[in-house]
Amino acid sequence: MSYKIAVATSDEINVDETFGQAKRFIIYEAEGKTYKKIEERNVEDGSDADSKASAKTSESVQVGCEASSGCDSKPESCEVGAGCGSGTGCGGGGGCGGNGEVSFKISSLFDCRAVVCKKIGVSAQKQFEKKAISYFDVSCSIEEALDKITFYYNRIDNHVSLRNKTD
């Protein structure tokens, strides 16, 4: 059974980019203990104009909420689910380039069994967990990371104990 592993790298030698920094991932196909590079996947959100427009909209609504005397007595525009911690303003994670870019990157990697980065944030971790995609925070060579991951998955897939046997 083969599966894909996405690796965040700038030089194709080391795992040297965080999930947030990565503009592309190198995708490896693994089977058993072997793996090979099959593609480079661009994960930049191509709708920059749309995201900037929605960020401006969220920002203007957020400012409107802040102009009121707080979220206890908010203007009607805040009641509709905008700003004031509702999830669409800067504090809620939906606007200002928040989770939108992360969600796009994650959805670009849904066909992978694992994602390997130098560091990965909690928001991305939670979304990968919901899709049963493993993630690894490592700082080493790609070869070393893939050797260890394929070894691990080979043992798991074949129901072999991960413990060292001392006979």
Directed axis angle between helix 99-108 and helix 122-130, to 10°?
A: 40
In angstroms and rounded to an integer, the radius of gyration of the C-alpha atoms of the chain is 21
Confidence of residue 74 (pLDDT cuts 50, 70, 90): very low
Q: What distance in Å separates the CA atoms of residue 84 and residue 93, rounded to the nearest whole number?
A: 12
Q: At 3, which amino acid appears? A: Y
Q: Tell me the pLDDT of the chain averaged across its residues.
A: 75
Confidence of residue 64 (pLDDT cuts 50, 70, 90): very low
Q: What is the pLDDT of residues 89-119, one digit of tens each?
A: 333 344 344 566 788 899 999 999 999 999 9
pLDDT over 50 at 70, yes or no: no
Sheet holding 2-7, edge to edge: 34-42, 24-31, 2-7, 114-117, 134-137
